[in-house]
Amino acid sequence: MPETLRKTALNPIHRLLGAKMVDFGGWDMPVEYSGLIAEHMAVRTGVGLFDVSHMGDIQFRGPGSLDAVQHISMNDASRLQAGQAQYSAMLYPQGTFVDDVIVHKFSDHDYLFVINAGTREKDYNWVRQNARQFDCHVSDYSDYYTQLAIQGPRAQATLQKLTSVDLSAIRFYWFAWGAVCGLPNTLIARTGYSGEDGFEIYIPSDAATSERVWNEVLEAGREFDIKPCGLGARNTLRLEAALSLYGHEISDTINVFEAGLDRFCRLEKGTFIGAESLKRVQAAGGPEKKLVGLEVVERGIARDGYRVLDEQGQAMGYVASGSPAPFLKKNIALAFVPVAYAEPGKEVAVEIRNCPVKARVVPLPFYRKPKRT
């Protein structure tokens, strides 16, 4: 038992709502309220509200900020305009993952990394250590923000009631500043981890403000049957959308090519931590294993860590994340397999409780949100 679990400002609200709580990377977080499937469906068809205040926020300020960000993260932040965000990752020199991040450009001298909860301390130490040589100041603002994710096709209609900012003008992976629930200069980003349209807002982390905004969002979304959603639905939503989760699809032993995230890695932008190793992997003909999508064809649910078998029944890979997909109504998995199998249509098997169960490699993502109309 950990001595003390960390709590977000909304912890009493989650308990009041009757959420089931779990220890998630040292945080006491809601796993589900009304039920995982109902919450998942709310996000796919209506709107859901998540407390994601356990995520971390690291800000870079000063004239050397861009150089530091470029050195520490794999995507090309020089392509960002003020008000734009990008998916990226921090790498170790061997080309494996410290963590994945969303980089927000506030101005030429001001960038924000939003990072994972379980890796906050590690990430912050990594950033401090590696930003030292640049003319910028690094601050950890993780505890200063309550971060709420409002996700789903009705997210915009819900949040629009609480702000004068024209949300329809914010494009996907862009952000704006404005009053939300009367709080001035609130960061409103069209980002998320659900594979659906949605927003993430960053508000002061005192309990009174956090609870007030949480309740106002629920009230605003009432006509769309908004549901508070826990980490259970967050996981199945991101899995349907094939979004990586640290410790599963990405880790300090998995490199960028293996994780299939090379489209977010700009080797041509110049030197950065991890680039040399990745160039060597590329020159050697690419990775030996790759992340693929699996659909279980026979009856059975593939779970994290299960072995993937070849035609002879020999173990050749493993499931990184596996679960029933509530919206797709299939049993799906993200798995690492040798490149020879990393092709849609390949037949494999997943060893489920000592039995080989047929599965097929399918294109990713499993789920793609409909185009906005």
Partner 1 sequence: MAYPTKYRYTREHEWIDADGKTASVGITDHAQDSLGDIVFVELPKVGDKVEKGKVFGSVESVKAVSDLYAPASGTVTAVNEELTTAPEKINADAHAAWIMKIELSDPGDLEGLLTADAYEAYAKEETGH
Q: Can you tell me whether residue 31 is helix, strand or coil? A: strand
Cis peptide preceding 324, ω within 30 of 0: no
Residues of this chain, 141-170, that bind partner 1 according to CB under 8 A: none
- Please list, in sequence order, all residues whose beta carbon lies within 8 angstroms of the beta carbon of residue 166, skipping any fewer than 6 positions away: none
Report the 10 Å Cβ neighbour count for 54: 21
- Interface characters, 219-258, with partner 1 (x: CB under 8 A): -------------x--xx----------------------
**Total site size for partner 1, rule CB under 8 A:** 17
Nearest residue (CB) to partner 1, 324 versus 338: 324
Determine which residue in the list 13, 24, 27, 32 makes contact with partner 1, applying CB under 8 A.
32
Among 5, 17, 20, 218, binds partner 1 (CB under 8 A): 20
Which residue, 228 or 287, is less far from partner 1 as judged by CB?
228
d(CA 135, CA 184) in angstroms, rounded, equals 30
Using the rule CB under 8 A, which residue among 9, 13, 31, 89 binds partner 1?
31
The CA distance from 61 to 68, in Å, is 10
Contacts of 194 (CB under 8 A, 6+ apart): 43, 48, 149, 151, 152, 234, 237, 238, 241
**What string marks each residue from 311 to 340 as x (binds partner 1 by CB under 8 A) or -?**
------------xx-x--------------
Q: How many whole angstroms separate alpha carbon 250 and alpha carbon 161?
A: 37
**Contact with partner 1 (CB under 8 A) among 185, 313, 353, 371:** 353
Out of 137, 303, 330, 346, point to the residue binding partner 1 (CB under 8 A): 303
Nearest in space to 113 (alpha carbons), one of 74, 79, 149: 74
Contacts with partner 1, residue ranges (CB under 8 A): 20, 31-32, 35-37, 232, 235-236, 299-301, 303, 323-324, 326, 353
